[in-house]
């Protein structure tokens, strides 16, 4: 059986295992107590701590911990049903036509808007944003403060690049906790990246727009020559002219026939034996809180920009807002 089929079987089996009991589950206790006034409800912090404890035990233990975490959230029955609908729509992206993708986008936008209007959902997501900011140091859920700038002069061929911006395929925004796009510095003011027009070299200037938040880093497991060699391999194998199309189905990270942005970055480093897919517990918990069970199922199978951003194998030398 192909890896793509195995991934889909895992998605469906996990959803049937965990989603069905959720329909009968009531809302958890209110998350109103915040003893230390840090913006993170105490019950949410405790529930997420159990997810963190399960992280070193592997994906199966993580999936079970995230299932318990989700069941503990004080969501209304309405929010749980909306998330179930969102889960089915996200699964549908695997084989959707361009026209159907447009319809899915509109439905997901409407679902998220309706969820955000529900006090139980708004309360949890506000707390999750505070938790993410606490755990990662990223300004999630807060307004831009200051103009710290980005160290563009430090860029070298093969460096990992992440950005928070709106100029990305909308499907990336489904999975974006903070970073929405990823690329690799090619050199000569060009970035090797994948977008809706496929895998190409794009101008570095696209990344320098004001009010973009950028993270620049390097693989700390391999030397620069090894990374440069892997980048040269990828540019020859996948091309730089769009011949490798964009991959709209994020869980299928193993395929070489089509690539999304962070999948391309992941492939480059996987070629030299470094796995940048962190499967970070905080990212998976945030994604689960946002979309429901499919958050952790898809999150474990996919490699999102945020997962690269939270990888212990990437050292970031610059993080900040473009001036």
pLDDT at position 85: 96
Distance, CA of 206 to chain centre = 21
**One domain, residues 197 and 87:** no
Domain CATH for 177 = 3.90.1720.10
pLDDT at 221: 98
- Are 159 and 130 members of one domain? no
- 286 assigned to some structural domain: no
Give CA–CA dist 106/114, Å, rounded.
12
Question: In this structure, are 312 and 187 located in the same domain?
Answer: yes
- Residues 88 and 165 occupy one common structural domain: no
298 pLDDT band, cuts 50/70/90, is confident
User: 136, 162, 187: which is the final residue of a domain?
Assistant: 136
Residue 142 resides in a domain: no
Phi-psi region of 169 (alpha: psi -120 to 50; beta: other; left: phi over 0): beta
Residue 95 lies in a domain: yes
Between CA 191 and CA 203 the distance in angstroms is 6
* Least confident residue range of 66-75, 134-143, 242-251: 134-143
d(CA 284, CA 281): 5
Within a domain: 177: yes
Last residue of a domain, one of 136, 161, 196: 136
Domain annotation covers residue 288: no
Same domain, 42 and 9: yes
pLDDT tens string 14-60? 554 444 444 434 444 557 788 999 999 999 999 999 999 999 999 88
pLDDT tens digit string along 207-258? 999 889 999 999 999 999 999 999 999 999 999 999 999 999 999 999 999 9
In tens, the pLDDT along 158-196 reads 999 999 986 666 777 889 999 999 999 999 999 999 999
- Residue 31 sits in which domain range? 3-136
- pLDDT (mean) for 193-211: 95
Phi and psi torsions of 255, nearest 5°? -65, 150
For residues 156 and 45, state if they share a domain. Answer: no
Q: Is the domain of 262 the same as that of 187?
A: yes
In a domain, 147, yes or no: no
Number of domains observed in the structure of the chain: 2
pTM: predicted TM-score of the whole model, two decimal places: 0.89
Name the pLDDT band for 148 (thresholds 50, 70, 90): low
Q: Are residues 265 and 225 in the same domain?
A: yes
């Amino acid at each position: 059986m192909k890896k793509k089929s195995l991934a889909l079987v895992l998605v469906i089996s996990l959803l049937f295992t965990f989603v069905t009991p959720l329909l009968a589950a009531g809302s958890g206790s209110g998350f109103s107590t915040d003893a230390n006034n840090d913006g993170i409800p105490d019950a949410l912090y405790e529930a997420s701590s159990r997810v963190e404890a399960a992280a070193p035990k592997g994906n199966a233990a993580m999936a079970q911990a995230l299932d318990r975490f989700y069941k503990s959230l004080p969501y209304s029955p309405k929010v749980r049903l909306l998330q179930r609908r969102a889960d089915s729509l996200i699964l549908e992206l695997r084989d959707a036509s361009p026209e159907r993708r447009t319809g899915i986008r509109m439905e997901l936008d409407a679902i998220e808007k309706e969820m955000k209007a529900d006090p139980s959902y708004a309360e949890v997501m506000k707390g999750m944003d505070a938790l993410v900011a606490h755990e990662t140091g990223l300004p999630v859920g807060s307004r831009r403060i200051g103009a710290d700038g980005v160290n563009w002069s430090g860029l070298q061929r093969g460096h990992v690049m992440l950005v928070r911006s709106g100029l990305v395929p909308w499907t990336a925004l489904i999975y974006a906790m903070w970073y929405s796009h990823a690329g690799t510095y090619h050199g000569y003011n060009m970035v090797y990246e994948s977008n809706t027009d496929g895998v190409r070299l794009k101008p570095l200037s696209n990344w320098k727009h004001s009010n973009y938040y950028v993270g620049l880093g390097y693989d700390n497991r391999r030397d620069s020559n090894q990374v440069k060699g892997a980048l040269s391999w990828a540019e020859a194998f996948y091309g730089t002219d769009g011949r490798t199309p964009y991959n709209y189905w994020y869980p299928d990270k193993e395929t070489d026939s089509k690539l999304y942005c962070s999948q391309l970055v992941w492939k480059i480093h996987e070629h030299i034996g470094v796995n940048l897919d962190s499967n970070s517990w905080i990212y998976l918990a945030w994604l689960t809180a946002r979309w429901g069970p499919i958050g952790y199922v898809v999150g474990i199978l996919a490699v999102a920009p945020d997962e690269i951003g939270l990888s212990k194998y990437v050292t970031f030398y610059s993080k900040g807002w473009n001036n």
